[in-house]
Amino acid sequence: MTDARDPNSAAQPQGHLGQLDDLREQVDQINLQLLDLLSRRGELVAEIGRLKSSEGGTKFYDPKREEDQLRLVRQANRGPFTDAAISAMFKEIFKASLDLEETREQRKLLVSRKQKSEDTVLTIGDVRIGGSEAPVLIAGPCAIESEGQMDQTAALVKELGGGILRGGAYKPRTSPYGFQGMGVDGLQLGRKVADRHGMQFMTEVMDTRDVEVVAQYADILQIGARNMHNFSLLREVGAVRRPVLLKRGLSATMEEWLYAAEYILSGGNENVIMCERGIRTFEKWTRNTLDLSAVALIKQESHLPVVVDVTHAAGRRDLLLPLARAALAVGADGIHVEVHPQPATAMSDNEQQLDFEGFRQFVAGLNLISKQR
Ligand SMILES: O=C(O)C(=O)C[C@]1(C(=O)O)C=C[C@@H](O)C=C1
């Protein structure tokens, strides 16, 4: 409140205002100097990032280096800011600098959204997967065992809205004495049955020497979890033009998984579907732990479609439906599930495949898929 009778009362705020303007002017100048310094620092950090990636590194975060720098600035700190306040400001600077280094690196990756912002939508025969397309259902037995088994399964999967029939002809088994798959005979069977029912056929390829023959019979080549780090195989499927479903490795980080996909894209094959299938954790009540955050995060980081293999994620039938629902809720572009006419007598994975009744209930519970397709 000003008092008109007091000669100072009107002048005083004006004097303060003048002082305030002056101080703010100085602060503005310092802001510009700080900005200039921050920009120069950013350029140096970007150079550090370039050096690190030219040496083949992908890890830019260096906590020890950050701690060393914090120690130096705390020692030099004369106030008025507390050491804690100064540390917090510098930590923000490190964080932004790290983003700068990582963004630069990721911008180079073909799998990255920073490279291609719109969703990749794959067209495989009459099936479309990714983007705003309805979620797809990929289903079939673990291993191809006979024409009858494949035919009955295909008929049911198709009836319930699934467009992709899966079935293994080459099986990666823990024991070398376990059933290893029917090989080329299995591939021929899978192709024949898929054609009979107007479906796409997906099967696993485990060996670089088999890529050509598998690509001859299958519409989608699957790279299994155990082979996600098989870089020769990734390069080989990068050289064919068939879509590839790339499962996440048992203990692979999301970054490693994306780099595995990058191997395929960099070979010229852009048709990659990422498949989360659970990762190995300390938990014993499920076979693996389904990492739903990976589904959401990979879709954020990458333009590629992501599907979820609920069968291997849980390793138990009672969890298939809730996990599949959760996967769709976080944005999965499809569900992969194993179904067999007589799971109890299946040549592999008999603990976790659904029987026909179970599969009907599963699809009915999912609802979404048959409704939206
Ligand atoms: O010196 C490095 O190695 C950097 O990457 C730069 C920098 C920084 O901003 O100072 C950035 C991130 C790291 O965690 C550590 C330090």
> Ligand 1, closest atom to CA 61?
14
> Does ligand 1 have an atom closer than 6 angstroms to the CB of 97?
yes
pLDDT at 371 over 50: no
Distance 37 CA to ligand 1 centre (A): 16
Cα–Cα distance between 332 and 168 in angstroms, integer?
23
**How is the chain split into domains, by residue range?**
20-107, 122-372
> Ligand 1, closest atom to CA 93?
9
Distance 264 CA to ligand 1 centre (A): 31
pLDDT at 13 over 60: no
Which residue's CA is minimally distant from atom 3 of ligand 1? 62
Helix (H) or strand (E) holding 128: strand 127-129
pLDDT attached to residue 346: 84
Q: Are 331 and 305 in contact (CB under 8 A)?
A: no
> Does ligand 1 have an atom closer than 6 angstroms to the CB of 119?
no
Which residue's CA is minimally distant from atom 9 of ligand 1? 94
Q: How large is the average pLDDT for residues 310-324?
A: 93
CA 205 to chain centre: 21
CA-based end-to-end distance of the chain = 71
> Ligand 1, closest atom to CA 63?
14
pLDDT attached to residue 172: 77
pLDDT attached to residue 2: 36
pLDDT at 361 over 90: yes
Distance 254 CA to ligand 1 centre (A): 22
**Per-residue pLDDT tens over the stretch 123-178:** 999 999 999 999 999 999 999 999 999 999 999 999 999 999 999 999 877 788 88
CA–CA distances in Å: residue 91 to residues 35, 233, 309, 349, 363: 16, 41, 39, 49, 49
**Per-residue pLDDT tens over the stretch 19-58:** 999 999 999 999 999 999 999 999 999 999 988 888 766 6
Distance 84 CA to ligand 1 centre (A): 20
pLDDT at 187 over 70: yes
Most confident among 4-18, 287-301, 343-357 (mean pLDDT): 287-301
pLDDT attached to residue 52: 87
> Does ligand 1 have an atom closer than 6 angstroms to the CB of 105?
no
> Ligand 1, closest atom to CA 62?
14
3-state DSSP percent of the chain in helix, strand and coil, to 5: 50, 15, 35
> Ligand 1, closest atom to CA 65?
15
Cα–Cα distance between 297 and 320 in angstroms, integer?
21
What average pLDDT does the chain have?
91
What's the topology of domain 20-107? Chorismate Mutase Domain, subunit A (1.20.59)
pLDDT attached to residue 14: 58
pLDDT at 184 over 90: yes
What's the topology of domain 122-372? TIM Barrel (3.20.20)
pLDDT at 372 over 60: no
> Does ligand 1 have an atom closer than 6 angstroms to the CB of 66?
yes
Least trusted range by pLDDT, from 261-270, 311-320, 347-356: 347-356
DSSP designation for 354: B
In this prediction, residue 179 has a pLDDT band, given cuts at 50, 70 and 90, of confident
Which residue's CA is minimally distant from atom 6 of ligand 1? 45
pLDDT attached to residue 1: 34
pLDDT attached to residue 176: 82
pLDDT at 7 over 80: no
pLDDT attached to residue 57: 66
For the chain, give the percent of residues with pLDDT over 70. 93
Distance 114 CA to ligand 1 centre (A): 22
pLDDT at 98 over 60: yes
Q: How large is the average pLDDT for residues 73-95?
A: 97
Distance 104 CA to ligand 1 centre (A): 14
